[in-house]
Structure 1
Amino acid sequence: MTTNDVVVVTGFGPFGSFAENPSSLIVDELSEKKIPGFNGKLVTEKMSVTYADVDEKVRRLWTEYSPKLVVHIGVHGEYHHIKLEQQSFGRGYCRYDVDGCVPVNNVCTTCTEPILRTSIDCERIASKVSQDLNLKQLKITASDDPGRYLCAYSFYVSLSIDASRSIFIHVPPFDSNCTLEMVTAAVQRTICTILSTLDA
Structure 2
Amino acid sequence: ELEKLGLRDDVDLHVYEVPVEYQTVQRLIPALWKKHSPQLVVHVGVSGMATTVTLEKCGHNVGYKGLDNCRFCPGSQCCVEGGPECIDSVIDMDAVCRRVSELGLDVTVTISKDAGRYLCDFTYYTSLYQSRGRSAFVHVPPLGKPYSAEQLGRALQAIIEEMLDVLEHPEDKINCQHEH
Mark yes or no: TM-score above 0.5: yes
1:144 aligns with 2:113: yes
2:162 aligns to what? 193
Q: From the superposition, tell whether residues 79 and 170 of structure 1 become closer, same or farther in structure 2 (CA, over 3 Å).
A: closer
What code does the residue aligned with 1:48 have? P
Partner secondary structure for residue 94 of structure 1: coil
Residue 127 (structure 2) aligns with: 158
Which residue type is aligned with residue 138 of structure 2? I
Is 1:115 aligned with 2:108? no
| Residue 41 to residue 134, structure 1, CA distance change in 2 (3 Å) | closer
Aligned to 1:24: none
Map 1:6-155 → 2, pairs under 5 A: 29-35=1-7, 37-109=8-80, 112-135=83-106, 138-155=107-124
Asked if 1 retains the 8 angstrom alpha-carbon contact of 2:92 and 2:166, the reply is no
> What amino acid is aligned across from residue 33 of structure 1 in structure 2?
L
CA contact (8 A) 1:38 1:192 kept: no
Distance 2:62 2:145 in 1: 37
Matched residue of 2:15: which SS? Answer: strand
Assess if the C-alpha contact under 8 Å between 1:91 and 1:111 holds in 2: no
How far is the alpha carbon of 1:197 from its aligned partner? Answer: 1.6
Structure 2 CA distance, aligned partners of 1:165 and 1:38? 21
Local SS of the residue matching 1:187: helix
Q: CA RMSD in A?
A: 1.6
Aligned residues: 169
Name structure 1 gaps, 5 residues minimum: 1-28
Q: Please state whether the residue corresponding to 1:83 is helix, strand or coil.
A: strand
Query: What secondary structure is seen at the aligned counterpart in 2 of 1:106?
Result: coil
Bigger strand share: 1
Question: Aligned partners of 1:176, 1:70: CA distance in 2, in Å?
Answer: 26
Deviation at 1:109, TM superposition (A): 3.2
Could you tell me how far 1:177 is from its partner in structure 2?
4.6
The C-alpha deviation readout for 1:114-137, integer Å capped at 9, x for no partner, is: 1111121111101110111341xx
Displacement of 1:110 in angstroms is 5.9
Amino acid in the other structure paired with 1:44: V
Deviations 1:141-168 (A, max 9, x none): 1110100110000000111122442000
TM-score by length of 1: 0.79
User: Take 1:110 and 1:155, find their aligned partners in 2: how far apart are those partners?
Assistant: 16
CA-to-aligned-CA distance 1:2-48 (integer Å, 9 cap, x gap): xxxxxxxxxxxxxxxxxxxxxxxxxxx2223211x242321111111
Contact 2:58/2:114, CA 8 A, preserved across alignment = yes
Q: Please tell me the residue identity of whatever aligns with 2:35.
A: E
Q: Larger deviation: 91-100 or 174-183?
A: 174-183
Is there any run of 5+ residues in structure 2 with no aligned partner, and where? 170-180
Q: 2:137: which partner in 1?
A: 168
